[in-house]
Amino acid sequence: MPTTTSRDQGPDLHTPLNAAPLTHGQLPRRAPQSVFLAALVAGIALLLSGWNVAAAAIVAGFGYAVVVYAWSRAVEGPRKATDRLVTAVVTGAFLLALIPLISVVFTVISKGAPRFDDQFFTYSMRGVVGEGGGAYHAIMGTLIITGLAALISVPIGLLTAIYLVEYGRGKLARAITFFVDVMTGIPSIVAGLFAYALFALIFGPGVRMGIMGAVALSVLMIPVVVRSTEEMLKIVPNELREAAYALAVPKWRTIVKVVLPTALAGIATGVTLAVARVIGETAPLLVTVGITSSDNFNPFDGRMATLPVFSYYQYVTPGVPPDPALNRAWTAALTLIIIVMVLNLAARLISRLFAPKTRG
């Protein structure tokens, strides 16, 4: 028929060019797991035959990746094989990154546990030589100094961020943004020296006070607070500001009553994380606050103890025999980690509590 012949002459548009089948081979469901088990067994065998842990793990890991890739390529084709290889590599990188974390947590817990007792949390180091003693004074010192640092940095950081997001235009705003970026990179010891130099100008050289440490820490904390608050304020939709303006609400009330409450969860989280960031600083406190073995909870008068510095001094000047001091150093480190973890959990809780609710 003429119609069919004319269609036959034209290019065939109905069959796909690379007519690959929709089905292809598949590895058995438990294939990766079995290969992993085999690699694990091989690794343990190498370990028993005298290899060290790292070498055995590396060989086993490589073996797993190679076997899975080759097998999958033979059965499933190159795309699936690449997928499995990259999965293996990514998982391996993740495990590698996890090793230091687990190692630190394990070491600190195992070495800090022996002195993690009542006495550690209720006694200072006054008159303690050798056994016993505690870090009550250092824990309180850390809380007081970090609290003061937060008290200084939060208002400054918050107001700076509000200026940058809501008011800042032109040169001044650009300059502030630039200097906040520069401040983010200040080494902590420099912050400490700055605070020392500042107070030495007023009180003379050799001065040591808790408030100096708080000032040094706030130099480190302010840029973090500014940055996180700025990001949080920026993501408040402009529509909400316009809605408030359209209700004849002045700008400052819009900021205080609409923008800040909307961003509160993020701001609170950012502040908590900034506190967690500076609470473990050692260097600036070393040069500004120093250390003492007795209770001193007055940040405006003389040396105070703080957990990081306490830990440092217990470690570098242990005395004879050294063990009690070293134990105290580890327990102080453990306490610090626990405080930071509690702060991080608090940040999550805060962000959940303050987050704008969509469903009631």
Partner 1 sequence: MAKRIEVKDLDIYYDKFLAVQGVSMTIQPRSITALIGPSGCGKSTFLRTLNRMHELVPNARVDGKIFMDDEDLYGPGVDPVSVRREIGMVFQRPNPFPTMSIYENVAAGLRLNSTRIKKADLDELVERSLRSANLWEEVKDRLNRPGSGLSGGQQQRLCIARAIAVQPGVLLMDEPCSALDPISTQAIEDLMLELKSDYTIVIVTHNMQQAARVSDVTGFFNLRGVGQPGELVEIDETTKIFSTPSNKATEDYISGRFG
Planar angle of CA 58, 60, 66, nearest 5 degrees? 100
Closer to partner 1 by Cβ: residue 344 or 351:
351
Report in angstroms how near the CB of residue 165 gets to partner 1 at its nearest.
14
Cα(238)–Cα(350) distance, integer angstroms: 24
Q: Which stretch binds partner 1 (CB under 8 A): 118-126, 173-181, 209-217, 241-249?
A: 241-249
252 binds partner 1 (CB under 8 A): no
Q: Which of 234, 257, 348, 352 binds partner 1 (CB under 8 A)?
A: 257
Angle between helix 210-234 and 170-184 (nearest 10): 120
Place of tokens 């805060």: 350
Total residues in contact with partner 1, by rule CB under 8 A: 25
Q: Name the residue nearer to partner 1 (CB basis): 52 or 358.
A: 358
CB 29 → partner 1: shortest distance, Å? 43
Q: Candidates 245, 317, 323, 353: give the one binding partner 1 (CB under 8 A).
A: 245
How would DSSP label each residue in 272-340?
HHHHHHHHT--HHHHHHT---SS----TTSS----HHHHHHHHHHS--SS-HHHHHHHHHHHHHHHHHH
Instruction: Choose the binding region for partner 1 from 8-16, 197-205, 253-261, 321-329 (rule: CB under 8 A).
Output: 253-261
Single residue of 249, 273, 338, 340 touching partner 1 by CB under 8 A: 249
Decide if residue 243 touches partner 1 (CB under 8 A): yes
Single-letter code of the amino acid located at 98:
L
Minimum distance of partner 1 from residue 110's CB (angstroms):
46
Measured distance CA(271)–CA(220) in Å, rounded: 12
The Cα 328–Cα 79 span in angstroms is: 55
Which of 23/358 has CB closer to partner 1? Answer: 358
Whose Cβ is closer to partner 1: residue 47's or residue 176's? 176
As measured in angstroms, the least distance from the Cβ of 249 to partner 1 is 4
| Nearer to partner 1 (CB atom), residue 217 or residue 265 | 265
Residue 15 sits at the vertex; the CA angle it makes with 12 and 19, to the nearest 5 degrees, is 135
Place of tokens 């063990």: 323
Please select the residue that binds partner 1; options are 25, 28, 78, 250, rule is CB under 8 A: 250
Task: Find the part of the chain contacting partner 1 (CB under 8 A) among 138-146, 150-158, 242-250, 328-336.
Answer: 242-250
Establish if 240 lies at the interface with partner 1 (CB under 8 A): yes
Nearest to 135 by CA among 345, 283, 315: 315
Spacing of C-alpha 303 from chain mean position: 30
> Is residue 263 classed exposed, middle or buried when 0-12, 13-18 and 19+ CB atoms within 10 A define those classes?
buried
Report the sign of the C-alpha dihedral through residues 306, 310, 311, 316, in that order.
positive
Site string for partner 1, 166-205 (x = CB under 8 A): ---x------------------------------------
Which 3 state secondary structure label does DSSP give 3?
helix
- 323 interacts with partner 1 by CB under 8 A: no
Stretch that binds partner 1, among 67-75, 299-307, 325-333, 352-360 (CB under 8 A): 352-360
At position 131, the amino acid (one-letter code) is E
Peptide bond into 321 cis (omega under 30): yes
Of 137 and 241, which has the nearer Cβ to partner 1?
Answer: 241
Minimum distance from residue 238 beta carbon to partner 1 (Å): 9
Cα–Cα distances (Å) from 321 to 130, 300, 317, 327, in that order, read 7, 35, 11, 12
- Asked if 246 interacts with partner 1 (CB under 8 A), we say yes
Binding site for partner 1 (CB under 8 A): 169, 237, 239-240, 242-250, 253-254, 257-258, 261-262, 264, 356-360
